[in-house]
Amino acid sequence: GYSSTSGIPGVRERTLIAVKPDGVHRRLVGQILQRFERKGFKLVGLKMLQAPEELLSLHYQDLRKKPFYPSLLHYMTSGPMVVMVWEGHNVVRTSRIMVGDTNPAEARAGSIRGDFSIHISRNVVHASDSVEGAQREIQLWFHGKELIDWNCSDHNSTYQV
Ligand code: GDP
Ligand code: MG
């Protein structure tokens, strides 16, 4: 059960956040994860994996015709990733702001990409860009049983009941 959930719309919204291979190589997993924890979102899924090319081709299906697509696949298979599912009110939109612009040269200081990266070809982190996209991506990367429904004890300090 999930009895402590308030009636606030979208509290159960979820998004997929991934530390890309460059972020893992650069030992940024802890710092990236900490930003979502300190914000107050709830971690409901977490794993490390070497992403298979087939999974990445589904994940990035809309980019297949882009000139950078082959190099994107090479980048994303260059080492393990850490993928996470975070839950909370407006988490898809808010986490895009926390992650920053796709191009780190345009990403604001204080955002993850703004603080930790320089070039669009190595931008350390992924975040789903819409609620529907998030649902699709979460299903791609996680089995249902890998996502944990749990009551966080600070819920009532994060949302008005
Ligand atoms: P995102 O949602 O902010 O990650 O951006 P997109 O969905 O548009 O692109 C997915 C990923 O493809 C980006 O995060 C980059 O890793 C990569 N990418 C996008 N545009 C370019 C580009 O022009 N050049 C290169 N090398 N990679 C790109
Ligand atoms: Mg995208």
pLDDT of residue 5: 53
With a cut of 70, say whether residue 116 has pLDDT above it: yes
Ligand lying nearest the CA atom of residue 74: 1
| Residues 120-159 pLDDT 10s | 999 999 999 999 999 999 999 999 999 999 999 999 999 9
| Ramachandran angles phi, psi of 54, nearest 5° | -65, -40
- Within 6 A (CB) of ligand 1 lie 63, 68, 71-72, 102, 120-121, 123, 126, 129
Ligand lying nearest the CA atom of residue 99: 1
What CATH superfamily classification does 14-143 receive? Nucleoside diphosphate kinase-like domain (3.30.70.141)
Q: How far is the CA of 2 from the centre of ligand 1 (A)?
A: 37
pLDDT of residue 6: 58
b/e per residue 49-85 (b: at least 16 CB within 10 A): eebeeeebeebeeeeeeeeeeeebbebbbeebbbbbb
pLDDT of residue 9: 82
CA count, 13 A, side-chain hemisphere, 153: 0
pLDDT of residue 1: 39
Q: How far is the CA of 62 from the centre of ligand 2 (A)?
A: 9
Domain range annotation of the chain = 14-143
| Residues 13-66 pLDDT 10s | 999 999 999 999 999 999 999 999 999 999 999 999 999 999 999 999 999 999
Measured between alpha carbons, how far is residue 15 from residues 43, 71, 81, 121 in Å?
10, 25, 16, 22
pTM for the structure as a whole: 0.95
Q: How far is the CA of 113 from the centre of ligand 2 (A)?
A: 14
